[in-house]
Structure 1
Amino acid sequence: MIVHRSSPVACIRTGRYGHKRFDNEEPVAKCPRISESSGDAGLLGTSPGSPVSGTPLSATSAHQGPARIGQFLLLPLVDRVGVHSAWDIDNGEELVCKVFDMGQYQEKIRAYSMLLKHRNIAQIRDIVLGEHMAYVFQERDYGDMHTFVKRCKHVPEHQAAKLFYQAASAVAHCHQAGIVLGDLKLRKFVFSDEKRTHVKLEGLEDCRILPGEDDSVTDTHGCPAYVSPEILSGGGSYSGKQADAWSLGVMLYTMLVGRYPFHDSDPVALFSKIRRGTYCLPEGLSLRARCLLRSLLRREPAERLSATDILIHPWFHASIQDADGPEQEVGLTEQMVPQVEVEVDEQLFC
């Protein structure tokens, strides 16, 4: 992306966040090439609601290093496609920035205007409009849950309960507002604090906004490991909310066990396993955790718990209550367990 020097104009305020317009974007000296992350390359397909089908950045812009947009200095994040680390030169604040084509950005952020503020959903802080691109700024984060689970191998139940409750709460809030999230996975949730206790949904760019009460959708994009059986059946429309519930079940299983409930290096074999819906629950999980997993990872969509129902499941109360005892105070090094059964394959961990 070639950017040019320009002078800013006054900020135009609309709604809960502001729009600043810059006629052009200003370049900064190039840095050494940063390799692009493969990210979620194994998608079932793309749709207009998916970030990978839009044009967050040109093919070359990810390699050009930092760029200056108004008072912000942007540097692409190697592990998050279309996302930049942003530094406000005026006050030193660090943010994250998502870059969209001007013709798409309003549709990409439309869901934010439909939602009341929620503590577990990232909010838009500012928007800067360039000549060809729109720059959407949000609060910085401290890594995503995908990376966290990979490092920890698995998450103890009392800790997983606190994190998963927040994730399910964000999904339930969206569903109540008529928004289906679709491509749900651990990578979609990030930590807003250094201690990694507070989780938030990092974006709504690839969600589906329902026109009414009917939550039927037809999109078939998503990370293979998280996709629900009905999407693979090729039967046309399916319940978007119930598909989200399945993905939440995959998230919870992966947090507690340290691997996906369905995994195979061959996509055909992987999809066959998902269609059958059979998986193993290892020893050591509590009865309530097993109950919640079985209530989400069900082949029949209508039999799954809704996101709202998840929040009242007794596993949360029991796990948090059990954690009050001194025997539950376990350090991070003690949480690390050897990986003896399944070797983590980068291609399987989306």
Structure 2
Amino acid sequence: MNVQRTSPVSFVRNGRYKRIDSDEPVSKCPRLSESSSDAGYLSTSPGSPLWSAPFSGTPTHQGPSRIGQFLLIPIADRDGVQSALNVHTGEESVCKVFNMVQYQEKIRAHSVLPAHRNIAHIKDIILGDQKAYVFLEKDYGDMHMLVKSCKKLGEELASRLFHQVASAVAHCHQSGVVLGDLKLRKFVFCNEKRTHLKLESLEDCHVLEGESDSMSDKHGCPAYVSPEILNSSSSYSGKQADVWSLGVMLYTLLVGRYPFHDSDPSALFSKIRRGQFCLPDTMSPKAKCLIRSLLRKEPWDRLTAAEILIHPWFHGAQETGSRELDSGTTDQIVPTFCLENNESLFC
């Protein structure tokens, strides 16, 4: 199999740009139709309570495959993402596969965003006749997997991780990038101790052409969708919708489940439209304040991503966490919460 090397693209920092032929299938991210009813809106979204993968007659690759010098192995619970091993150097990384006609748009945000410690960068790209293989740094699982493992986080740890999440989002917003389909899955750990997070997925984001962040796209996970997206038949603020998603993420980290959940799609979206949720009595006042400042029905009442970073909860939570650690608290235990299908909680 011949590999043709070309000049590296400007935003692949220390990366390479190669060309190769391959027929590896590409997973597609479903899009929520504006004209769909609530039930249809939900049922076409992976991870939603009623979603199930459609049958496809096209076989998929379940085992390892070889692309150039890389051995690719699918990663469980992470659609479209594969573990990549450089057979020459032994270096591990992560690979995403895109259609050739889509890949430049999918990775466009990487050319717009300045480097940031909480945003992953592209290491390598291999181009085939039909597919583009994009390689990123190795990770150690994502935030979704952390919550899915039935461990709610204490406030000290949650504050350290969520500050990194908000920092990445604030950097994107400042650089004219709206994340859109923002959720826990998109943040991965880049060290074994799981202390350093990076925003790994930028393919669903929107690069703004001017100052306005007005959007009409209805693409996203139902559990994270904001009320204005459900209520609006026209446009909404992309940045303010991202902040709502941040609120859902923070709530899920601290409570162990989504603030809005229901097995019936119409009921789920009704709850989101009302914007009413419950906070545990054991949660600190500052944590409650921050969540309520993000999950506000009216978009203009929410904090901005930059304002989140200066909220007093981050300092207070770390102090509280230190005291709890000294007293041997068991606050890491998840409260009992049973569903027939545990997957319905996660997107």
| TM value normalised by structure 2 | 0.86
**Alpha-carbon distance in 1 for matches of 2:83, 2:335:** 33
Residue 21 of structure 1: how far off its partner (Å): 3.0
Residue 103 of structure 2 is matched in structure 1 by 105
Aligned residue for 2:4, secondary structure, equals coil
Conserved? CA contact 2:11–2:110, under 8 Å:
no
Which ranges of 4 or more aligned residues in structure 1 deviate by more than 6 Å?
A: none
- The 5 A counterparts of 1:45-56 are 45=33
1:147-191 C-alpha deviation (Å, 9 max, x unpaired): 111224310000000000000000000000110001111111111
1:243-280 C-alpha deviation (Å, 9 max, x unpaired): 00000000000100111111100110000000001111
Tell me which of 224, 227, 248 is aligned to 2:225: 227
Residue 114 of structure 1 is matched in structure 2 by 112
- Pair 1:346 & 2:343 matched: yes
Residue 238 of structure 2 is matched in structure 1 by 240
Residue 14 of structure 1 is matched in structure 2 by 9
Residue 55 of structure 1 is matched in structure 2 by none
RMSD: 2.6
Aligned residue for 2:345, secondary structure, equals coil
User: Structure 1 residues 341, 22: closer, same or farther in 2, change over 3 A?
Assistant: closer
Tell me which of 301, 318, 321 is aligned to 2:319: 321
Residue 329 of structure 1: how far off its partner (Å): 7.6
Conserved? CA contact 1:99–1:135, under 8 Å:
yes
**Alpha-carbon distance in 1 for matches of 2:78, 2:322:** 36
Residue 32 of structure 1 is matched in structure 2 by none
1:80 maps to a residue whose letter is R
**Alpha-carbon distance in 2 for matches of 1:19, 1:327:** 46
Aligned residue for 1:295, secondary structure, equals helix
Residue 64 of structure 1: how far off its partner (Å): 4.8
Residue 96 of structure 1 is matched in structure 2 by 94
Structure 2: runs of 5+ lacking an equivalent: 35-44, 47-55
User: Structure 1 residues 305, 342: closer, same or farther in 2, change over 3 A?
Assistant: farther
1:123-168 C-alpha deviation (Å, 9 max, x unpaired): 1001111121111000111111111112243100000000000000
User: Structure 1 residues 108, 40: closer, same or farther in 2, change over 3 A?
Assistant: closer
- The 5 A counterparts of 1:176-255 are 176-255=174-253
Residue 45 of structure 1: how far off its partner (Å): 4.3
- Pair 1:312 & 2:307 matched: no
- The 5 A counterparts of 1:1-40 are 6-17=1-12, 18-25=15-22
Conserved? CA contact 1:231–1:238, under 8 Å:
yes
Aligned residue for 2:279, secondary structure, equals coil
Residue 51 of structure 2 is matched in structure 1 by none
Tell me which of 159, 172, 182 is aligned to 1:174: 172
- Pair 1:63 & 2:61 matched: yes
Larger RCO, structure (CA 8 Å, separation 6 or more): 2
- Pair 1:337 & 2:342 matched: no
Conserved? CA contact 2:20–2:68, under 8 Å:
no
Conserved? CA contact 1:295–1:303, under 8 Å:
yes
**Alpha-carbon distance in 1 for matches of 2:335, 2:320:** 26
Identity of aligned residues (%): 59
**Alpha-carbon distance in 2 for matches of 1:330, 1:175:** 39
**Alpha-carbon distance in 2 for matches of 1:317, 1:197:** 17
- The 5 A counterparts of 1:138-177 are 138-177=136-175
1:8 maps to a residue whose letter is V
